[in-house]
Amino acid sequence: MNIIERIQAEANRCRELLTEYANIGPVGAFGRAVIETAIKEGEAAIASGDAVQCVEAYKKLQNCQ
């Protein structure tokens, strides 16, 4: 699996987390915002093709819990 595929897989996992954060109501708003930002950064990294940016974005996505 290459870095782009890994980012996409982590972004999909994080999208599932968004549902869980939405289910806990207003308390989950900050967590949702952080995860949404990480997903956007991952998508931007893929679009840029910058390897360093991709690795950093991947690490941020991995840290989403």
- 18-45 pLDDT, tens digit per residue, is 999 999 999 999 999 999 999 999 999 9
Q: Please state the pTM of the whole predicted model.
A: 0.92
Distances (CA, A) of 10 to 13, 25, 26, 27, 57: 5, 23, 24, 23, 10
Which option is the CATH number for 3-63: 1.20.1270, 3.20.20, 3.30.1310, 1.10.540?
1.20.1270
Distance between CA atoms of residues 25 and 22, nearest Å: 6
Per domain, the residue ranges of the chain are 3-63
Percent of the chain with pLDDT over 90: 98
